[in-house]
Chain A
Amino acid sequence: MRRNDDLLDRWLKAEEGGSEIDADFAADAALTALFAALPLALAPAPGFADRVLAATSAEPQPSVRAHVLGLLYGFIASPWGRVSVALSLVGAALTLPVFANLLPAALALLRPTFLAPIVAHALVEGSSWVASGLHFCHWFAAFIRTLLTPLQSPAVAAALGACFFVPALALRLLYDLIQRERNWTHANPI
């Protein structure tokens, strides 16, 4: 006769506990414990990861952004990348006095007498854009009002509602159909 197992007994006895929530929870936990204690894992043939990597390496990188980021990370991680970053910092430090001399000239460009005409021009341009936007909104509101006028008739409103309802229902049914295609019942009706 076969030998019994403590975890197995615990699970099978929990299954006899009826359909109460506590019994169901206990049976669930007991079966999980049994699974954890048994050698149930299945493994692919050795070298699976290498085969997957070989297949993916033949593919282009997932995106241009990822490719650029990967190159950047690789460059910074390399000794030459680190030396380049260090030299750049040293170079920036050395050129700092030159930039310090240029700073007063740059600040002179920020004087009010120089900035005032530019700001005024920007305000005028911005105002014209706002006016154009308001004009468009006014036209659009009138357009919508014109469209809504026939809806005051109940028959037209009902027809329009049906026009929206039927495509929405069709889309919903199509979605359900696609989902069911991936349901086991449809995949393997045994």
Chain B
Amino acid sequence: MDEKTIEAGLAERARAGSPEAFRELVLRFERPVYGLILRMVRDPSTAEELAQDVFWKAYRRLDSYDPERRFGSWLFKIAHNTTIDHLRKSAPDLVSLEAGDDEGGGLAAVLSDPAAESPEAAAERSDLARDLQRAIATLRPEYREAVVLRHQEGLSYEEISETMGLPLGTIKTHLHRARKELAVLLRAGGWAPETESGVPS
């Protein structure tokens, strides 16, 4: 049984009133949803609040979920709309990455917290992971969201287009430009591949 079928079954049971099934759905998607929102709002407490709001809305709207679609795609759409609505109301309150560092909170603090990393993650790649996260954090919000949905959550171009409410061509352009920007940022951070002479290109 594939993941889509399992998730559709869980959603159906949750819709029928099973708290265990809904809990299983929350456990499956708490990290992706929270991670996506945190990268957008850059504040852990706000991200958790919004993530809870996303699951609460999903619970209330389970009747509108189409089992033919991936549950994650449907949930990311709710997360996208919830985050956008929040940012529209409180755009001036956005916390910058550097400000978070100063206050001991923020995205950077979460990224440097070993507990926030998956246990199986290779320790020797933590530097690269941190630099990549920082590079992602500097991207434009729409680029950032597209990159996370594509490369971290594994959504197809069509699903990202549906989630973000943008044309397919725009999504492809966003991802292409975001990758180029990330590459430039990482090269500037000293991660350029070495040439045959041993000197970074």
Total of A-B residue pairs, C-beta within 8 Å: 178
Q: Across the interface, do A39 and B129 meet the contact criterion of CB distance under 8 Å?
A: yes
Tell me the nearest residue of chain A to B41, going by C-beta: A188
Interface residues of A in 13-34 (CB under 8 A from B): 13, 15, 24, 27-28, 31-32, 34
**Interface residue count on the B side (C-beta < 8 Å):** 74
**Interface residue count on the A side (C-beta < 8 Å):** 57
Interface residue stretch chosen among A50-58, A85-93, A134-142, A149-157: A50-58
Closest CB of chain B to A87's CB: distance in Å?
Answer: 25
Q: Across the interface, do B91 and A40 meet the contact criterion of CB distance under 8 Å?
A: no
Q: Does any Cβ of B come within 8 Å of A115's Cβ?
A: no
Alpha-carbon separation in the docked complex, A52 to B59 (Å):
10
Q: Name the A residues within 8 Å of B194 (CB-CB).
A: 4, 9
Q: Across the interface, do B38 and A66 meet the contact criterion of CB distance under 8 Å?
A: no
Residue-by-residue, is A56-100 near B (CB-CB < 8 Å gives 1, otherwise 0)?
110101110011011101100000000000000000000000000
Q: Does any Cβ of B come within 8 Å of A111's Cβ?
A: no
Interface SS, A side: helix
Q: Does any Cβ of A come within 8 Å of B169's Cβ?
A: no
Residue-by-residue, is B84-107 near A (CB-CB < 8 Å gives 1, otherwise 0)?
110110010010000000000000
From A5, A27, A48, A62, contact of B15 by CB (8 A): A62
From A24, A182, A189, contact of B84 by CB (8 A): A182
Tell me the nearest residue of chain A to B30, going by C-beta: A48
Interface residue stretch chosen among B2-10, B66-74, B185-193: B185-193
Q: Across the interface, do B179 and A28 meet the contact criterion of CB distance under 8 Å?
A: yes
Q: Does any Cβ of B come within 8 Å of A45's Cβ?
A: yes
Q: Name the B residues within 8 Å of A56 (CB-CB).
A: 19, 22, 55-56, 59
Alpha-carbon separation in the docked complex, A38 to B191 (Å):
15
Q: Name the B residues within 8 Å of A15 (CB-CB).
A: 179-180, 183
Q: Across the interface, do B35 and A42 meet the contact criterion of CB distance under 8 Å?
A: yes
Q: Does any Cβ of A come within 8 Å of B127's Cβ?
A: yes
Q: Name the A residues within 8 Å of B190 (CB-CB).
A: 1-2
Residue numbers of A with Cβ under 8 A of B are: 1-5, 8-9, 11-13, 15, 24, 27-28, 31-32, 34-35, 37-45, 48-49, 51-53, 55-57, 59, 61-63, 66-67, 69-71, 73-74, 179, 181-190
9 CB contacts below 8 A, A to B, read A28-B175, A28-B179, A38-B128, A40-B132, A41-B117, A44-B51, A53-B19, A66-B63, A181-B84
